[in-house]
Amino acid sequence: MMLPIPVAVLGGTGKEGKGLAARWSRAGLEVVLGSRDAARAEAAAAEVRELSGGRVTGAANAEAAARGGLAVLATPYDGVAPTVEACREALAGKLVVSAVIPLRFDDRGPTVERVDEGSAAELVARLLPDSRVGAAFHAISAPLLLDLDHGLDEDVPVAADAAADRAVIVELCGALGARGVEVGPLRLARYLEGFTAVLLSLNRLRKARAGLRFTGLPGA
């Protein structure tokens, strides 16, 4: 399958966005990092190019969305609405993959905010009625993504309503060096986002960097 490129990573100047961009650009994909601040995006892109040796550029979010053949949304939860509203027109007709997690922390550790739509990904779908929305990349550790010498021996659950969109996201997972696993429609994103809090808690307790791995899959 030919991926629609460049891959736009919106809100891509954080560790997660830069880690995804580093892995994809090292694999030969062209990536454009988006940010509210174009200069910040360009600085982050230069940092990623130095790390991966790949093709990475930076731009304001709306320009990155316009240039991208597909988009991955990697903003903090409170940045979802302003980011997608600024990019709605540029994202029309495109696949948008939400990696957003509505995380919050209290005195007992990580948990997730209640989202009226059910999940951050479903919120994105409501805000982008002319786009196709999927969900993935929630549970991969940002430090692991940025450590390009470390293989990703873990699975990435992929949720989207259309099988063709899930197949595209699975291919993106493969370009990271991970295995994408289709789990079903977008409504399952609420459980994928929520399980990230479980992983964070586990890794804090065990001082580890554990990920997900599905067993017993045919052909695995």
pTM over 0.85: yes
The pLDDT assigned to 160 comes to 98
Rounded Cα gap, residues 134 and 132, in angstroms: 7
Report the run of H or E that residue 197 belongs to, with start and end.
helix 189-206
The pLDDT assigned to 220 comes to 62
The pLDDT assigned to 79 comes to 95
Nearest to 136 by CA among 160, 112, 114, 117: 160
**Pair of tokens at residue 72:** 């991955």
Q: Give the pLDDT means over successive 10-residue stretches in the chain (220 positions).
A: 87 96 97 97 98 98 98 97 97 98 93 96 98 97 92 95 98 97 98 95 90 88
The pLDDT assigned to 1 comes to 61
Rounded Cα gap, residues 152 and 155, in angstroms: 8
- Hey, what domains does the chain have and what are their CATH numbers? 7-206 (3.40.50.720)
**Pair of tokens at residue 103:** 């995380």
The pLDDT assigned to 159 comes to 98
- Sheet (strand 155-160) strand order: 56-60, 31-35, 7-10, 70-73, 95-98, 132-135, 155-160, 179-184
Residue 109, beta-bridge partner list: 106
